[in-house]
Amino acid sequence: MNWETLGLSELRQSLDDKKVSSTELTNYFLGRIKKQNPELNAFITITEEEALAQAKAADDFINTPGENPTLCGIPYAAKDLFCTAGIRSTAASKILDNYIPPYDSTVIAKLKEQKTVLLGKTNMDEFAHGSSGETSSYGATKNPWDTSRMPGGSSSGSASSVAARLNPWALGSETGGSIRQPASLTGVSGWKPTYGRVSRYGVIAMCSSTDSPGALAGSVQDLAMIAEVISGQDPKDSTTGAMEVPAYFSQLTADIKGLKIGIPDEYFIDGMEDGVKQSVYEGIKELEKLGAKLVRVSLPNTKYGSLVYAIVAPSEISSNLARYDGIRYGHVTGEAKDLLEVYSKSRDEGFGDEAKRRILTGTYVLSAGYYDAYYKKAQKVRRLILNEFEDVFKKVDVLAAPSSPNTALSLGGASKDPLFGYIADQLNIPSSLAGLPAVSIPCGFSTSLSQGIPLPVGLQIMGPQWSEQKVFNVGYAFQQATDWHKKRPLL
């Protein structure tokens, strides 16, 4: 049986019917990881021993009478910025190379309660700073559609491993495109939750006002199943919302007749890849065929999103990364003469280029004399962006647009450009700054960039805060009518 071709609800059924055990599934996917990971570099740590122990516990549970939790016995992988008790969690940074968290992040704890099986920790841009996977201290992740290309980032290993079906699904996180963009570039479905829908507790912090832990999987149906499990208020993260978590999965409906879908002009930018534009237009036409009403809308402040982000994100980063001081955990220098040098040398040795650039940028714009001109100004323009979305959602139910202006670029392109991420993520950042939920779904292929090698294109659906169900329904309806999400790379 090719277990990698099944969705989560089919895996659930197979486990419940005892057609396969969790141990068999776990060995099967570990086998795929061992075979493909040397080429893809999607994993930083493979947790074989722990996975087999968790699979055994899941099998024992399944073999006792009673209902099994939704994800019980199903293997998955987690981006390496989710803290996992007893398993090293590096955030792909040398400064955390030896860090073994003494606790689980809330999301990991919820998945443990379900008796899921963690196969390993996936590669990513260092501290999630990047959109290519190339800023990782553990080497770049490769895109399984063409291994000379990047999978996008920062959830690069999660996207690459799900695309190659090394694991049925993976945890990722988005701060400004880090789920949607790699999902788009690798042809998988990705969910960026409403800010505060999923707890940030134990998720190594980048930009706390937009960090949103989420997931990447083979379909929107799978994402809805995962969302039900990992969402919810958490006393350990005071920014999580009190709203109840709907039964996203059982309430999925492919009936989107009469739903108003806004198509924002500003998301079809100059210089956009032709093949992307074409596939996205066709995807939108498909939604119209399904009965949705298309409404042309304008969001003129879109162009300021990345500029606001280029100030707000580094500001929060410079503050969040101040904790790495070589005293309580993480890398410590062997060269220090005094306490100040312990800090400054440990940090210089431990952080990569991109992290340093963002720490310095943040420190600069927050420093005395510059705070009003940069940080305060950016947070006011952010208000304009929030207001603009609020207004547009009075007219339409959701927005549809390309997830990324281009398909996967060749490896090596990102590392030299200090603005790479801000430009790559310009179609994701505004909604991230506004805390909106979104999914990215595969909607076709483009050959504009590559000599004939088809590369996946993503269509994103964005909704008002807390409108996950609506966003999932649109993606689900699309995937009931098309089979782009079922296409697999040849490996």
Place of tokens 């306490």: 339
**Which of 373/481 has CB closer to other proteins?**
373
Q: Catalytic residue among 178, 219, 315, 403, which?
A: 178
According to the binding rule CB under 8 A, does residue 121 interact with other proteins? no
- What letter represents residue 314's amino acid? P
What residues between 382 and 401 interact with other proteins by CB under 8 A?
382-384, 386
**Residue 386: CB minimum distance to other proteins, A:** 6
According to the binding rule CB under 8 A, does residue 323 interact with other proteins? no
**Residue 284: CB minimum distance to other proteins, A:** 27
Residue 421's nearest CA partner among 203, 195, 150 is 150
**Which of 24/341 has CB closer to other proteins?**
341
**Which of 74/392 has CB closer to other proteins?**
392
**Which of 85/269 has CB closer to other proteins?**
85
The torsion angles phi and psi of 298, rounded to 5 degrees, stand at -125, 135
Here the tokens at position 282 are 């066709």
Here the tokens at position 265 are 């002009």
What residues between 24 and 63 interact with other proteins by CB under 8 A?
none
**Residue 237: CB minimum distance to other proteins, A:** 10
Catalytic site includes residue 154: yes
**Which of 3/329 has CB closer to other proteins?**
329
**Residue 109: CB minimum distance to other proteins, A:** 13
What residues between 350 and 389 interact with other proteins by CB under 8 A?
351, 356-357, 359-361, 363-364, 367, 373-374, 376-384, 386
According to the binding rule CB under 8 A, does residue 100 interact with other proteins? yes
**Which of 245/254 has CB closer to other proteins?**
245
The residues that bridge with 121 in the sheet, in sequence order, are 45, 78
Helix (H, G, I), strand (E, B) or coil at 448: coil
According to the binding rule CB under 8 A, does residue 277 interact with other proteins? no
Q: Catalytic residue among 21, 79, 142, 431, which?
A: 79
**Residue 422: CB minimum distance to other proteins, A:** 7
**Residue 359: CB minimum distance to other proteins, A:** 5
**Which of 413/454 has CB closer to other proteins?**
413
* Cβ atoms of residues 296 and 344 within 8 Å: no
Catalytic site includes residue 178: yes
CA dist 63 → 1, 3, 20, 75, 309 (Å): 21, 20, 12, 17, 50
Which region among 109-117, 235-243, 253-261, 288-296 touches other proteins (by CB under 8 A)?
235-243
**Residue 384: CB minimum distance to other proteins, A:** 7
Residue 299's nearest CA partner among 400, 185, 377 is 400
What residues between 436 and 475 interact with other proteins by CB under 8 A?
465
Largest CA-CA distance found in the chain, in angstroms, rounded: 70
Which region among 71-79, 115-123, 306-314, 468-476 touches other proteins (by CB under 8 A)?
306-314
**What Rg value do the Cα atoms of the chain yield, rounded?**
21
| 364/362 Cα distance (integer angstroms) | 5
Q: Catalytic residue among 154, 212, 318, 431, which?
A: 154
Which residues, 6+ apart, have CB-to-CB distance to 242 below 8 Å? 233
| 383/373 Cα distance (integer angstroms) | 16
* Cβ atoms of residues 161 and 170 within 8 Å: yes
Which region among 1-9, 12-20, 262-270, 337-345 touches other proteins (by CB under 8 A)?
337-345
| 79/63 Cα distance (integer angstroms) | 30
| 194/196 Cα distance (integer angstroms) | 6
Which residues, 6+ apart, have CB-to-CB distance to 59 below 8 Å? 21, 22, 23, 73
Catalytic annotation, residues: 79, 154, 178
